[in-house]
Amino acid sequence: MTEKKDKLALNTDFDSQIFREIIRRHWFLPIVYILLFSSFALFYLRYTKPVYRSSAKLQIIEEDRVGDLLGSGNIVKDDRVLSKEVELLKSDVLFGKVLSQLNIETSIYAEGDILTQNLYRSAPFEVIIYKLTDSSLINQRIDVKLINNTVQLSTKNKIIGRTEIDKHLVTKKFDLFIRGVKKKHIVSFLNENNVFFIINNKKSLVKELRPNLSVKVKDAKAKTIEISYEYDNPRLCYDIVNGVLQQYLKWERDSKQNNVNKTIEFINSQIDSLSNILKISKDSLNNYRRETKILNPESIGKELSDDINELNNMLISFEEELLTLNLISNKINKNPNRLEIYRLIP
């Protein structure tokens, strides 16, 4: 038996009838796809927080003035220096100092239907904590509502206090102050938004915000380091990057000043010890010269000249005194006159 193989024939020619049939049956698919992807893009843009990024570049200039002064060169490799500075910029200690300088012990939020917005430095008021007795309020949501022109604070549907703007609220649990930044907008802001604030824990705040900080070597040859921060609040990004730079420059200034002070103390101590040794050696040498009656050939001429000048001055003084005494004696022995004697006395 012979086997017959089916051969597939490919049509490479354009068929207008087939094209019209495809359009007739599937004309709605492009519109569906456009609407679908447009809806997805609109939903993504509307309900996704934008991420902002702030960055700065830092150039490391390593100068060993102490080593140059003491005569010992600095043999530290550039990559090790850059690695040390990168680790310092990423450290929790430095980042904690940055947050302390930013004064964000409380964070204010505006809650929406889907998204919750961090109102760092954009809320019309700020909450300042003077004293916190109840530590259970830390990291707890405290709702802020405006009722009869007074601000009501509540947590877990329980009212914990009422106060007015720019006044202290003192309770058994806390002592806080709500300061109005833009007083004209506070009423409309509280009426239009669900506002709450959180009393931050410093350690947990560092753990929450520090992962967004990026520190990396930009150019090893130029010794440049890039510091960047990404977050959904542009002001916070800028303030954190600027704070990291300021804290690093402050630490570098203090560190270099301490090294300079230590070097100056070391040099002063060496100068004092060497001065004492030099003085002791000079005294010992002079004592030895006096005991052995050894003259210094370099100073013997000057010493003799000074002695001769001193003797000449004494001789001239004695001659003047002798001349004066002779004059007085002659005046007294020859016809002494009381008036002339009085004149000679001065």
Residues paired with 145 in a beta bridge: 152
Per-residue model confidence (pLDDT) at position 277: 83
pTM for the whole structure: 0.63
Domain boundaries of the chain, sorted by first residue = 107-128+138-199, 306-344
Q: Is 189 left (phi over 0), alpha (psi -120 to 50) or beta?
A: alpha
Q: Pick the more confident residue, 270 or 120.
A: 120
Per-residue model confidence (pLDDT) at position 98: 92
263 has a pLDDT exceeding 80: no
Per-residue model confidence (pLDDT) at position 55: 93
Per-residue model confidence (pLDDT) at position 75: 44
What own/partner pairs with CB < 8 Å and gap ≥ 24 does 309-317 have?
A: none
Q: Are 109 and 196 in contact (CB under 8 A)?
A: yes
pLDDT, tens digit (0-9, with 9 covering 90-100), for 94-124: 999 999 888 788 999 998 767 788 899 889 9
Q: Pick the more confident residue, 43 or 317.
A: 317
Exposure class string for 43-77: b at 16+ Cβ within 10 A, else e: eeeeeeeeeeebeeebebeeeeeeeeeeeeeeeee
Q: Pick the more confident residue, 282 or 215.
A: 215
Q: Pick the more confident residue, 132 or 327.
A: 132
Instruction: Tell me the pLDDT band of 50, cut-offs 50, 70 and 90.
Output: confident
**What is the distance between the alpha carbons of residues 152 and 144, in angstroms, rounded to a whole number?**
6
Which of helix, strand or coil describes residue 126?
strand
Q: Pick the more confident residue, 306 or 86.
A: 86
pLDDT, tens digit (0-9, with 9 covering 90-100), for 289-338: 667 766 566 666 676 777 788 888 888 888 888 887 777 777 666 665 55
